[in-house]
Amino acid sequence: MSTIEHALSRYRPLVDDWRSLIEACQRPLPLVVWANPVRLEHRRRLAVRLGYDEDADIADLLRGRGYVAEPLGWIADAWRVEGLERPGYTLENQLGLIHVQEELSLAPPVVLGAQPGERVLDMCAAPGGKTARIAVSMDNRGTLIANDVRPPRLRALRSNCERLGMTNVVVTSIDGTRFPLDAGPFDRILLDVPCSCEGNLRDTPKAAARGASRSIKGRSGLQATLLGRAWKLLRAGGTLVYSTCTFAPEENEVVLDYTLGLDAVIEPFAIPGLIGDSGIVEWAGRRLREDCRNLVRYWPHLNDTGGFAIAKIRKGSAC
C-alpha cells in the first residue's frame, strides 16, 4: 500500500471510485493562474506593445512563449498552464496581472458571493489568494478585512494584496479566536480554517500524508473555536462560508455539528462545472445534524484538482 493510499484509507467508505482517487493523488497538481481584472488596463497596454490585439488575454501572452494554457471550464479568466515551472518569476505575476493559485481555492469566494460595498471578513486569510478573489467579486469596493495571526504568512498576505492592487482590503493580525466583536457585524465571512491539509497530497505527498495522520484531531478544537467566534461576528441574515483543504469529517461536518446551533442553516449549493460529493450525516458512530449533507466535498479525482470541503451557512434569527 502506498503512503498516499495508507493516509486516505479511512475515507474508503466515503468514495465511490477509490482507484481513481488514489491515481489522481499520485499525479502532480495542475498549475492554475487567473487574470487580475484590477490590472486590465495594464494587460491591454502590454498586449498591444507586444504586438497582440488589445483584447488578447493572459493565455495568449503565455502561449506566446511556449506555455500551454487551457481555460478552466467553471470560472472565467483562469487557466491551467503547462510548462511554466517558475510562475512567480513571470513579469505578469510580478506586476500583479496574474496570480497563481490552486484551482479549488478559487471556489470558496464564489460560494461566498460577496458584493461591492459590503463589510466582509476573511478570518484566516494568508497567503491572500482567496482574499484577492473576494476583493475582485466586490469590485474593490466596501471593506474586506483580511486577518491572519501568523507573522510569516501575514507578510505573504500583505505582499499579495498589495501586488494585486486590492484597495478595499484592510489587513489585520489578530488572533481569530479573540477577534473583537465590535469590528462586526459582517455581511459575509470566509472561514478557511487551518487544517491538516490532506487536500494538498498532490502537491506535497509525503509531508501531507505524514502531517494529516498526526494532526486531524488536534485541529478540530481550534476550528470549532474559530467558527464560534466568526458566528458571533456575522449579522443575522448573513452568510458564512466554512472551508478546509482536507477530507476529514472531524475537521468538517463534526466541527459544524458541534458548533452550530438552531440559528444556523447549512444551505445547499452547486458550482456549475465542478463536481462535488455530498457531506455526511454520520461518522464514527455519531449522528450529525441533517443539513451537514449540504457540505460539498471535492475529491481530487472528480475534477483533477486538489481536495477541498466547503459549507455555506446562513444565519437566521435565534429561536
Partner 1 sequence: MLTHFRRLQREPYVRWWTDRFGTPEGMFGDCSMWQRGKTTVWVAAPDVDPVAVHPVDGVGVPLLRVGGRAWKPTSIGLMHFGLHATRNVVELDLDEAACFLAGETVDLMPEDPRRRLPHRGFIVARSLGVPLGCAEWQTGAIRSVLPKGRRNPAADMPRILVA
**Site residues (CB under 8 A) for partner 1?**
41-42, 45-46, 48-52, 61, 64-65, 86, 89-92, 94-96, 117, 119, 140-143, 145, 154-155, 158-159, 161-163, 165-174, 180, 182-183
The smaller minimum CB distance to partner 1, of residues 24 and 46, is found at 46
To partner 1, the closest distance from the beta carbon of 75 in angstroms equals 24
Is the distance from CB of 36 to CB of 165 less than 8 angstroms?
A: yes
C-alpha cell belonging to residue 151: 507573522
Give the whole-angstrom CA distance, residue 131 versus residue 237.
Answer: 22
Q: 208: burial class by Cβ within 10 Å (0-12, 13-18, 19+)?
A: buried
Residues 6+ apart with CB under 8 A from 22: 2, 4, 5, 8
Q: Phi first, then psi: what are they for 262, rounded to 5°?
A: -75, -15
To partner 1, the closest distance from the beta carbon of 27 in angstroms equals 25
Active site (annotated) includes residue 197: no
The smaller minimum CB distance to partner 1, of residues 161 and 292, is found at 161
To partner 1, the closest distance from the beta carbon of 239 in angstroms equals 19
To partner 1, the closest distance from the beta carbon of 124 in angstroms equals 15
Is the distance from CB of 154 to CB of 176 less than 8 angstroms?
A: no
The smaller minimum CB distance to partner 1, of residues 69 and 274, is found at 69
To partner 1, the closest distance from the beta carbon of 69 in angstroms equals 13
Quick one: which of 171, 163, 170, 190 has its CA closest to 109? 190
Quick one: which of 203, 193, 283 has its CA closest to 229? 193
The smaller minimum CB distance to partner 1, of residues 168 and 305, is found at 168
The smaller minimum CB distance to partner 1, of residues 113 and 142, is found at 142
Which CA distances in Å does 201 have to 13, 219, 299?
19, 18, 11
Q: 185: burial class by Cβ within 10 Å (0-12, 13-18, 19+)?
A: middle
The smaller minimum CB distance to partner 1, of residues 90 and 220, is found at 90
Give the whole-angstrom CA distance, residue 31 versus residue 209.
Answer: 21
For residue 240, what are the β-bridge partners? Answer: 189, 313
Q: Which of 195, 245, 292, 319 is catalytic?
A: 245
To partner 1, the closest distance from the beta carbon of 8 in angstroms equals 36
Q: Which residues are catalytic?
A: 245
